[in-house]
Structure 1
Amino acid sequence: MNDNTPRNPITLLGLGDMGTALARTWLAAGYPLTVWNRTSAKAEALASDGAAVAASPAEAVAASPLVVLCLLDDASVEAVLDGIDLTGKDLVNLTTGTPSEGRTRAAWAEARGARFLDGGIMGTPSMIGPGAGGYVFYSGSRALFDVHRPALEAPAGARFVGEDAGHAALHDVALLSAMCGLFAGISHAYALIEGEDIAPKDLAPLLSAWLGAMGFFVGNAAERLTSRDFTSGVESNLAMQVAASGTLLRTAAEQGVSTELIAPYLELMRRRLEADPASHGGEDTTGAITLLKR
């Protein structure tokens, strides 16, 4: 956007750490911003930066065609907007939720005469702002996304992932779930060296380098799940991985470390192998993913 291009007004409901970071970025970019928060002090703190502080959600919604929500949860969205006229409004929901909640909220908004986008923020408050590294998945109304894209891109990158309103949350949770698994493995690794003459800071670069080298699994698994070919070009097959898993478990026992963070994955591989050793023994570990779908 050219610096001389008029900025359309935005309303932001919800000023937790993330909402406040979004607000400050929009204000710095020159967007007229109306804010509301249940705790009014958080809204008043932005007045000196140029934000207009609304006394109620209804007043805030009336102030702008684009209404952004960054609240505690899906129930908060419904409670805050209860009884408010949304006709003609463009709602962008950055409240963390599930795919089902995104789809339900989209239908709810459309029934009330509003266009709707659901969003999943990939980043922490410190990652909001130009060049800070954060981005947001959006799904729902493509027309709404296209119209407001400059505003949506001001605080963080914007990635449209489909007109199914649940897909932003699904992308968000898929990435966060992978992060949880990664953090679990890292936590287990550090627990193993507790009490040993190995400094965590010395293990850290080794962990980072090893995990980076294993990053190939992401693309490899995507290709195998698409082709359903789990055997071509396998270097470390499932039978070998399951056999080697005993070493991981015994080492944990020797070090007095619980296996609760890694045992579920090892058990999944064992189940895949035991279901059909002849067929699955030569696979890589990607086939175990198929056991997770209920």
Structure 2
Amino acid sequence: MTDNAIEKSPLTLLGLGAMGTALARAWLAAGHPLTVWNRSPGRAEPLAAEGAAVAGTVAEAVAAGRLVVVCLLDDASVDEALAGVDLAGKDLVNLTTSTPGQARARAIRARERGVHFVDGGIMAVPPMIGAPGSGAHVFYSGSRTLFDSHRETLAVPAGTSYVGEDAGFAALHDVALLSAMNGMFAGVSHAFALIRKENIEPTAFAPLLADWLVAMTSSVHAAAAQLADGDYTRGVVSNLAMQVAGNATLLRTAEEQGVSAELLAPYLALMERLLADGRGNESTTGVVDLLALRPTRLRTVGA
């Protein structure tokens, strides 16, 4: 029996932007019956030619099946699209980029409407969707029953990870990883700025920079272990006092090269605060505690 001969689960997709279209094509290529809706109907025409059923309204699209996937511009767009639509008994998966708080609020509203809800955080750009080996991944959180019921369908466009019944956890994982990525990009930008005016080819420097960053990733696991057991001195090789002393060289070099230190300064200032608190024998993991000043609020588990 061929893969195409196996009956595939139908689903509805609301939203045909760049990401929505990539998702749609992945499900169609895998043989899933797909109903689509988009505010601008013209975006649906190419997908209709590829086998998608095009709904004229959101209500019509939602009525087509149990599993409804939403991939719109923002949280407000989801509210607008679903306003007044009968979702009772539906399995709703929101792949629209949102914050943890927005996802938790949507989970509450979904439960009030008799809807099973899962929120997703997409770790990919559209060309990665449906491409084997691309590394595309989606975090899911909320109803475990919903996720387990549709696991195979959800795994078609990208790899999946279920990260908890708290509906906000998918968005939180997504944003936490993206935040780390932006921090890395900041460091990369500063490094290239330092050599920009010199007779150093960026393309020759890039492999050194990339290899160095890879070598430093082991610090992620060390910090996690320290946060877990509360001992910020465990396994420390270059302690905070040593690093703060070395920071003067980083700042002086930036000044000499005519490079702004604005990307480094906030982090270096946090390190100095820790040192002033007498924590020079620790690692820099204590910066996490300085950033997380507010008490953790009570979270509502998603529907």
TM-score between the two structures when normalised by the length of structure 2: 0.94
Flag the 1:2–1:244 CA change in 2: closer, same or farther, 3 A: farther
Distance 1:126 1:65 in 2: 28
User: C-alpha displacement at 1:89, in angstroms?
Assistant: 0.6
SS of 1:46's equivalent in the other structure is helix
Tell me how far 1:261 sits from its aligned partner: 1.0
Distance change (3 Å), C-alpha of 1:236 and 1:2 = farther
CA distance in 2, matches of 1:267, 1:190: 22
**Match runs of 1:95-174 below 5 Å:** 95-129=96-130, 130-174=132-176
Residue 261 of structure 1: aligned partner? 263
Q: Within 5 A, what are the aligned runs for 1:56-71?
A: 56-71=57-72
Match of 1:244 among 243, 246, 268: 246
The separation in 1 between residues aligned to 2:27 and 2:235, in whole angstroms, is 50
1:127 positional shift? 1.3
Say if 2:226 and 2:234, in contact at 8 Å, map to a contact too.
Answer: no
Paired residue secondary structure (1:45): helix
> Counterparts of 1:20 and 1:132 in 2: how far apart (Å)?
17
Give the letter aligned to residue 144 of structure 1: L
Cα distance, 1:144 vs structure 2: 0.3
Q: Which runs of 5+ in 2 are unaligned?
A: 294-303
Instruction: Tell me which stretches of 4 or more aligned residues in structure 1 moved more than 3 Å.
Output: none
Identity of aligned residues (%): 64
Amino acid at match of 1:25: A
The 1-side partners of 2:270 and 2:93 are apart by: 39
CA distance in 2, matches of 1:19, 1:25: 10
Does the residue aligned with 2:68 lie in a helix, a strand or coil? Answer: strand
Distance 1:2 1:248, change over 3 A: farther
Q: Name the residue aligned to 1:205.
A: 207
* Pairs within 5 Å for 1:273-284: 273-276=275-278, 280-284=279-283
Task: Determine the C-alpha separation between the residues in 2 that align with 1:108 and 1:250.
Answer: 54
Letter of the aligned partner of 2:17 in structure 1?
Answer: G
Match of 1:187 in 2: 189
Q: TM-score, normalised by structure 1?
A: 0.97
Q: Which residue of 2 aligns with 1:288?
A: 287
Query: 1:115-167 deviations in whole A, cap 9, x for unaligned?
Result: 00000001111111133210100000000001000100011011000001010
- CA drift at 1:200: 0.4
Decide which moves more: 5-14 or 222-231.
5-14
Higher relative contact order structure (alpha carbons within 8 Å, sequence separation ≥ 6): 2
Structure 1 gap ranges (5+): none
Q: How far 1:38 moved relative to its partner? A: 1.1
Matched positions, count: 291
Task: Give 1:2 deviation, angstroms.
Answer: 7.4
2:49 match? 48
Give 1:205's aligned amino acid: P
CA distance in 2, matches of 1:131, 1:285: 35
Distance between the aligned counterparts of 1:2 and 1:258, measured in 2? 60
